[in-house]
A and B are shown apart, each in its own frame.
Chain A
Amino acid sequence: MNNEQDDRFEKRLRFVARRYKEGSLDTDKAWERFASRQGIRRKVSFRRYWMAAASAMLLLVGFGTLYMTERNKPEWVSVVTAPGQLKDVYLPDSTLVAMAGGSTLRYDAKIYGKERRVVEMTGKAFFQVKRNEARPFSAHTALTEVTVLGTSFQVNEQPGSTEVNVVTGKVCFTAGKEPEPVILTAGMSASYSNEKKEIEILTEENPNNLSWKTKQLRFNDTPLDKVIEDLNDYYHVKITNKVDSPDSRLTATFNDLPLDEVLMVINQTLDIRLVPGADKRK
């Protein structure tokens, strides 16, 4: 730098330094001020808008996916009864489920009643289904599926077999790999077991199917073996007959009586000796 330039430099430096003010003459700020006053939307900001829009979109998709998976995630409602405990459960559509002891029932609260009404169960339960033809009701057990529109029926699920008893209306019973459903009407019963691998219609109606619920045992000219079976079921015991009496038949009705009273009545009536033992199923 020669002297002349040096002089000029000194002069310019003085000029600039004298007027220098911290933070002044900020080109970007000045443009922002100008643009906002003139209502100019910058090209750069367009790109930013796009970026922002794209990120917002991505976020939306992300949350959407999360929401969808969250929404499709089942929200199980489960009811479990202890052995011997009876419980009435009302489902969201006011369908009544009377659960016998040692049973479970569960349904997905999120989808129950949306298109169908589906419950899963084990053990024994009596259903009084609220009629809704648009949304069929199904009760699933490990082996079978009972579908109805609106009726009352009982499902008795035991390891290896499931029995359905229809009280009113009509049900559609499918089981295992059976392609053909069986239609059951009021008073009919059917069962499916792992051994038979087919649906078997039970012709003989057992009036004591629902005795666990009605608290009433009814026998009408019933063979003694069947009486013992029903008593075992109802009282959860194992009754043995100490006297040999093959042709004995009983006609009687018991309204929630203690077991020893029931046995006393039967023993005196038929002149036999039934003795309760521990229920081996427990």
Chain B
Amino acid sequence: MAAISAGEFERIFKDLYRPLCMFALRFTEKTEDAEDVVQQAFADVWDKCSHNVAIANFKSYLYQAVRNRSLTLIAQSADTGQTTEFLADMEDTSEEEQMYQSERDARLWAAIDELPPERKKIFLLSKRDGLKYQEIAEELNISIKTVENQIGKALKTLRETAVRIYCFFFS
């Protein structure tokens, strides 16, 4: 405990939790797995702090820990087919770039979180579940026009969020 106060640790935890989860989600499919991995990584760091083991860079250490734990996790599970695509995608980006990317992803997640419920539902049916507009319209008993309209609005909101993020990160 001597190395870092509980309050300071809490601040770091809250800052890094979601980005780290997004990072873990590059390896694992399930959000539950990602959250578990991140929790374990933090527990490991907390344990080290309690035993006065100095950690030079928390953020970098945590990302490293999450990556290693995630890889261990997917190595244990048989199904690794889908994740390789992302692994390949990541190989050429730097560690720093991966952190930024995870932070941007976390913001996008938050932006989706904040969409109005009905709009969010339609948006997710399309982008997450891969339903066609026609199918969504039938599923929810609404017109295709409404589906298009709602998805258009959702995309607009998310794009604006992204623009803000990009401006922030690249300015």
Contact = CB atoms under 8 A, between A and B. Distances in A.
Interface of A: 1, 5, 9, 12-21, 24-25, 27-28, 30-31, 33-35, 37-38, 40-44
Contacts of B62: none
A16 B25 CA distance: 9
B123 interface: yes
A34 B13 contact: yes
Contact of B39 (A12, A18, A30): A30
A17 B39 contact: no
A17 B112 contact: yes
B101 to A, nearest CB: 7
25 contacts: A1-B163, A5-B166, A9-B162, A12-B101, A14-B127, A15-B26, A19-B29, A20-B109, A24-B31, A25-B21, A25-B31, A25-B109, A27-B13, A27-B17, A27-B18, A30-B13, A30-B39, A31-B14, A34-B39, A35-B10, A40-B6, A42-B10, A43-B6, A44-B7, A44-B10
B17 A12 contact: no
A17 B17 contact: no
B108 interface: yes
Contacts of B159: 1, 9
B84 to A, nearest CB: 15
Contacts of B101: 12
B17 A30 contact: yes
B17 A13 contact: no
B148 interface: no
B31 A19 contact: yes
Contacts of A31: 10, 13-14, 17
